[in-house]
Each structure stands twice: as structure tokens, then as C-alpha cells.
Structure 1
Amino acid sequence: MVTARDLGMEAVSEDQTIGLRYPKTMEDAVATASRLWRYDVERREFLIGSVFAAGAVSAASRDWLIGSPREELAYTGTGTHVSMSDVEQVRALGDEFERLSHTFGSQRIRRHMVNYLRYDVGPLLKKSRSDKVGRELLNLAAEFTAAAGYMAVDCNELSLAERYYIQALGLANAADSRSYGAQVMATHMGHLALYADHPREAVQLAEAARAGTRNGDEPLATAVTWVVEARGYARMGEARACQRALSQAERHFCRSNPSEAPQYLQYFQQAYLSDAFAHCFRDLDQPDSASKFAALALRDLPQTHTRRRAINTGILAHASLHKKEPAEAAAHGIEVVQLTQQLHSPRALSRVARLRRDFIPHQKDADVATFLEEADGLLKRASV
């Protein structure tokens, strides 16, 4: 008898689901993440063409909440012994890739991050180390796997991002870092659910992140979960629930000191809180408040955060349109085009195309016509 395994069918099926199952042990987490990185470097066709699977994130969040006992993270592998100095070098280069992504977009940077994970971080995970070094190394692997997932989002590859986030969650669990796991659940998986138009799931992920943190109440981490919850409610048009969540986010943020928070949370400063408020008020069709908070975000954002500046300028353009101010909206829209020209980001281009559609009812206005011409030129050049 010739079985499906003899024909290679089971192996193909397993490959195609790589990354969609939550790994429950350190060995499984390292093996699965390593395979995902390798397949991504090879640009396997099933990774490029797959669609977002809403149930996979929910299943992973359930498994994370259940948790598993802490494993010994010391490891006797092959080759040299990994030191804390090695871990610091991993951090330095991975952080540089993330910085470049914020400034220039992810289309060109992402492949370098994935190669870094595949050829530099992956081999270190299989070498000898102490328990302390193992914890730090696995946590960094989780952080940069999540960063690669965010870069996939910026490239409009939501299914690939989903796989990366699930494996980042597994690696955080392997590192015994409930706090970073909660960050993956809320910030990364929650925002992915929003991008994929599953706002109810975003709310549930934020709630699960708070419920699953066992290491006490870190104010900034808690503020992040409430931000994601607020954005989910705003997307569903539930204004009162959104306002309650925003109030909680602001309260916890005011109790925090970002400079004393874990490194992976230090990005969340006043500009990002204002950004979240702006997104919520945009989705609730409150253009005055959206404009106010988008302007505050732009005031506090570093000039090097080109992608985020383009997003908030787009909110200003959208709000001005809703306030019946097409000339001002067009001026903001032209600035969005100029910022997006500096990026290699398919998602940023998608936002320009979406903003362009909002302007169509006002296309006879001379200022709007100039914006439409600029936007069309950018989109045409990008498609070549």
C-alpha cells in the first residue's frame, strides 16, 4: 500500500502550516522558528500566497494563557559557548534593522532581518549557554521575530506576519517572559487583528494579555493593552467603551516612566499615546479630536520616524476632509505623498491609495486636483 506519507503529502501539509501552531516547549519553539526563518529566506510559494487565518491567533492566545512550566534554559549544544557579549551584539544589530525600518520602510530591510534571524540568531540558539544567557537570547529571538512580523505587515503580508507573531509568542514563553508575551499578544497580534478587520478579536487579545501577565502591574505595558482595546472598540463604533479604554490607557501611562520600562516598551512615549487617540477619534468620526491628537503626535515624533509621521499626517488629511476643508486636506495629502516617497513600504502606498479615494468627491477643487495628480504619480512609479 502506498500511503500519503510515501507520496510526501503529509510533509507538504505540515510545511504549509509552518508557524501557525503555537509551540509549547523550548525545543519546539526553536525548531519551528528556525524552519519559518529558513522557508522565508527561500521565499517558499505557500508563504507568499497564503491568507490570514483568524482562528490561528485565537488558538495561540489560548495556549499562551494556559502556559507551561518553566524549563531549564541552560543548553549543552555544539560549538562555542554563547556569552552575554554575544547577546549584546545580537541586540545591537537587530535594533539597527528596526531603526532603518522606521525611517525607510520595510520592503528592503525585511529580508535583511530575516537573513539575520536565519543565519546569525538561529545558530546561536543551538549552542551551549548558561540559563541566564539562554533566557536573554530566547527573549531577543522573540523580539526580533516579532519585529520581522511587523515588517511583513508593512509589506502587506498579513498571513506571514501572523506566523511570525505566533512564533514570537512561543519564543517568549520559552524564555519564561510572560511580560513580553503579553506585549506580543496586545501590540503585535492585536494590531494585526485590526489590520485584518477583526476588531473584536483585537479587544479580546488585549484583555487576554492583561489576564495572562503574572509578573505584576507594569504601568506602561498595561497602558499598551488598553490602547489596543480602545482601537478595537473605536473600529466597531462603540464610543463609550472606547473612551473608557482610552481613559485607562492614559491613567496607566501617567503612572509610568518609559525610561525605566523594559527596552521593548521604551518606544511607547507620549507621541504614540497621542497617535492611538488620533486613530480612535478618526474611526469614531470625530475629526476635531482626531486632528488635535494627530498634531500632538507629529509634534513629539522624531523626524526619523518617517512612516509614523506619514500615518499621522494622513489622519490630519482625513479629518480636514470631514470638516469640509478640502484645501487644507489636500495640503496634508501632498505632505503624505512626500513622506511616502521616502519609504519602501507597500502598506504606506496602500494608505495613499485609500486616502486618494476619500478625495474623489472633491476632485473639482483645484488644490485637491494637485493632490490627486501627486498621488497618481507616486502610485504609478511604485507599480513600475
Structure 2
Amino acid sequence: MERREFLIGSMFVPGAVSASSRDWLIGPSFDQLALGGGGSRVSMDNVREVRALGDGFERLSHQFGAKLIRWHMVNFLQHDVAPLLRGSRTEAVGRALFQTAAEFTASAGYMAVDCNELGLAGRYYTLALRLADAGGSRDYGAQVMATHLGHLSLYAGYPGEAVQLAQAAREGGRQKGTPLAAAVSWAVEARGHARMGDAPACARALSEAERHFHRSAATDNAASYLSYFKEAYLADTFAHCFRDLQLPVKAKEHARAALGMLPVTHIRRRSINTAILADASLSQGEPDAAAQHALEAVRLTRKLHSPRGFQRIARLRKRFAPHTTVPGVAEFTREADVLLANASLR
């Protein structure tokens, strides 16, 4: 997929995402691919090795941005994971292998998003759905639908599609869905309603996300692929929603809460929430305070190889255009301009 120019340059097509999600929703829960091929024998040790390597690439992407790591993940999938999918194995190994392959294919999709390759990301996510079915993992398919395809629709400017995907994920994963999985899908739905300016619907979805998140704290059976959705990410969801609803006081409150809980190594997510602080301060008519946050966002983004991060700084830079005479703004704009001028080199 990565080699083909027509895929790399393709645009995000919401109709194609809808068709893939519909096929997943009504399709079988187990694929013949999981039954095994005729190649070398694959064991659980092989699956554990794949997991360890893929986890390492994901950690590096969070810390340094996807542009630096993405090709390593793609080569890993092509040269290390794909041959295993063609191997012979037991049913249990096949299920675990295809589940793991689905997770890291979705990770490659997220890395494509970070590089602003939204069309390519959609194809990775569609493939991740197929692999999840091959592993008999209906619950992970629901995660791909809600989190990955839902957020992709938000990024591409189709919030209504994001809402529908989150709802379809809950419907399709209802038999195995855990409280944390439900919280994730409600969080995506809330983001979609906020982007469309529907405050009551957003409030209901946020309430459901919070309720299911707290229910999940009473259990310890959440899948490993949901482990990222901690309290910091719930606060991040609230911050994004309140920003989009033009409620800057609440947006700042939750962005600060998220920053207080995020690991220092999650540079990309910290830069996102710091940019929300800057945006909210501008909306409150506090350009000087906003510039301080914006400057920190620039300095965090400078550590990343993230085209999407550079785009975020460019949008923030435009918002400061009416405030060039305010103390502190000049330093931010100067450093932002340097970062954006050098972005093509990163």
C-alpha cells in the first residue's frame, strides 16, 4: 500500500469509510484468514516479538512525531509481520497474530494522519478492520471504527461522519464491549457534536463518556489497546469539545488538567493541549498570556517530526495576526516563523 503512488496521494473519502464500516457492522465476526497458511510455523513467541517491536515504534512516535518513525513501522509491517500472516499456526496463535497485526496497522494509519496523509490513513484503518475480523476480534474492530476512523473523519472535516462511526462502533461491539470501550466511543461522538456546534448533544455524550470511564475503573479487564485512554485523555476530550464550543474558560481548565496528568514523554499530546491553552486565552481576550502558551507550544513542536503539528502552529500563528503589538507576541511569532520555515527539513 505504502509504495503505490495513487494511494499515497489520495484524498480522504467519507463515503468509502462509511462503506467499510457498514461492511464490518453486518459482516462475519471471524475470517478464514485466521485459520492459517502453508508457510513457516508461527508461535506465540513470534506474536510476543511483534508486540514488543510495535510497542517500541509507537512510543517513539508519541515522543518524536510520526515522520521520523513512520517508515520504520511500514517496513516492520511489510518485512516482519506480513510473512507471519502467511505462516501456518494454531487457531489461538492466528487470532492473537491477526489482532496484533490489526493494532499496528492502525498505528501506521495514525502515523499517516500525523503526516497529513489522510487518504492513506483511511486505507490503513480499513485494512485494520479486515485484520481484526481475521482475528475474530469484534471488540477491536469497534475500536478502529470509533477511535481511528472517527477521529480521521474529524480531522478531515466530517464531524457528522465521526458521530455515526462512534454510534456504529457501540452497536457493532455491543456483545463484547467494555465500559472503557464505550467511554472511548462516547468521547469521539462528543467531539463530533462539538465540532458541529451542538452543545446539548455534546454535553450528553461527554456525560456518558465520563460515566463509562468511571465504571471502567471498577474493573480490570479492559483490553491493552485501550490502556492509553486514561484520565488525561478524558480531560483532553473535554478540552477539545469546549474549545470548539467557544467556551474558553472550561477549555483551559481541562487542558491544564490534561497537561498535569500526561507523561512528559508524550510530547505530541502535550503540544496539542498547550495550543488549546493558547487558543482559549486568545478567545478570552488575553493575547499576552496566550502568547506565553503559544511559545511553549512552538518549543514542544520543535522537538517533533510532525507535519500535523507544524500545521497546528501555522493556524495558531494566524490567530495572533491582530495582536502583533502586544508584549510577548513578537517572540512567539518570531519563533513560530523559524519553525515553519524549517518544517520541510524535519
Provide the rounded CA distance (Å) in 1 between the counterparts of 2:10 and 2:29: 33
Equivalent residue for 2:69, pick from 85, 96, 109: 109
Q: CA deviation at 1:260?
A: 3.5
Alignment of 1:91-170 (within 5 A): 91-170=51-130
1:57 equivalent in alignment to 2:17:
yes
How much is the aligned-residue C-alpha RMSD, in angstroms? 1.2
Change over 3 Å in CA distance of 1:322–1:243 after alignment to 2: same
Q: Indicate the residue corresponding to 2:337 in structure 1.
A: 376
Q: Indicate the residue corresponding to 1:359 in structure 2.
A: 320
Structure 2 gap segments, 5+ residues each = none
1:181 equivalent in alignment to 2:141:
yes
User: Which deviations, in whole Å up to 9, do the C-alpha atoms of 1:320-347 show, x marking residues without a partner?
Assistant: 0011111110000000010001000000
Would you say how many aligned residue pairs link Structure 1 and Structure 2?
343
> Contact 2:31–2:133 at 8 Å: present in 1 too?
no
Provide the rounded CA distance (Å) in 2 between the counterparts of 1:371 and 1:104: 22
Change over 3 Å in CA distance of 1:174–1:359 after alignment to 2: same
Alignment of 1:225-236 (within 5 A): 225-236=185-196
Q: CA deviation at 1:70?
A: 2.8
Q: Indicate the residue corresponding to 1:338 in structure 2.
A: 299
Q: CA deviation at 1:164?
A: 0.3
> Contact 1:199–1:233 at 8 Å: present in 2 too?
yes
Provide the rounded CA distance (Å) in 2 between the counterparts of 1:174 and 1:70: 6
Q: Indicate the residue corresponding to 1:28 in structure 2.
A: none
Provide the rounded CA distance (Å) in 2 between the counterparts of 1:264 and 1:254: 18
Alignment of 1:1-384 (within 5 A): 36=1, 40=2, 42=3, 44-68=4-28, 70-71=30-31, 73-79=34-40, 81-257=41-217, 260-384=221-345
Q: CA deviation at 1:217?
A: 3.8
Provide the rounded CA distance (Å) in 1 between the counterparts of 2:257 and 2:191: 18
* Moved beyond 2 Å, runs of 4+: 69-74, 214-217, 257-260
Q: CA deviation at 1:69?
A: 5.3
> Contact 2:29–2:133 at 8 Å: present in 1 too?
no
What is the DSSP-based 3-state SS (H/G/I as helix, E as strand, rest coil) of the residue aligned with 1:64?
Answer: helix
Change over 3 Å in CA distance of 1:69–1:196 after alignment to 2: closer
Provide the rounded CA distance (Å) in 2 between the counterparts of 1:275 and 1:304: 16
> Contact 1:326–1:365 at 8 Å: present in 2 too?
yes
Q: CA deviation at 1:369?
A: 1.4
Provide the rounded CA distance (Å) in 2 between the counterparts of 1:75 and 1:184: 23
Q: Letter of the 2:131 partner, please give it.
A: L
Q: CA deviation at 1:214?
A: 4.2
Provide the rounded CA distance (Å) in 1 between the counterparts of 2:294 and 2:220: 34
Compute the TM-score of the two structures, normalised by the length of structure 1.
0.88
Change over 3 Å in CA distance of 1:71–1:319 after alignment to 2: closer
> Contact 1:114–1:148 at 8 Å: present in 2 too?
yes
Q: CA deviation at 1:215?
A: 3.0
User: Which deviations, in whole Å up to 9, do the C-alpha atoms of 1:204-223 show, x marking residues without a partner?
Assistant: 00000000014334000000
Q: CA deviation at 1:173?
A: 1.1
Give the structure with higher Rg (CA).
1
Provide the rounded CA distance (Å) in 2 between the counterparts of 1:96 and 1:237: 38
Provide the rounded CA distance (Å) in 2 between the counterparts of 1:350 and 1:217: 35
Q: Letter of the 2:314 partner, please give it.
A: A
The answer to which of 209-218 and 247-256 deviates more is 209-218
Q: Letter of the 1:309 partner, please give it.
A: R
> Contact 1:274–1:297 at 8 Å: present in 2 too?
yes
Provide the rounded CA distance (Å) in 2 between the counterparts of 1:69 and 1:212: 10
Change over 3 Å in CA distance of 1:69–1:276 after alignment to 2: closer
Provide the rounded CA distance (Å) in 2 between the counterparts of 1:69 and 1:110: 30
Provide the rounded CA distance (Å) in 2 between the counterparts of 1:65 and 1:108: 35
> Contact 1:125–1:137 at 8 Å: present in 2 too?
yes
Provide the rounded CA distance (Å) in 2 between the counterparts of 1:76 and 1:377: 53
Q: CA deviation at 1:68?
A: 1.4
User: Which deviations, in whole Å up to 9, do the C-alpha atoms of 1:145-182 show, x marking residues without a partner?
Assistant: 00000000000000000000011011111111110000
Q: Letter of the 1:311 partner, please give it.
A: I
Q: CA deviation at 1:50?
A: 1.4
Q: Indicate the residue corresponding to 1:24 in structure 2.
A: none
Q: CA deviation at 1:71?
A: 4.1
What is the DSSP-based 3-state SS (H/G/I as helix, E as strand, rest coil) of the residue aligned with 1:107?
Answer: helix
Provide the rounded CA distance (Å) in 1 between the counterparts of 2:141 and 2:155: 20
Q: CA deviation at 1:54?
A: 1.3
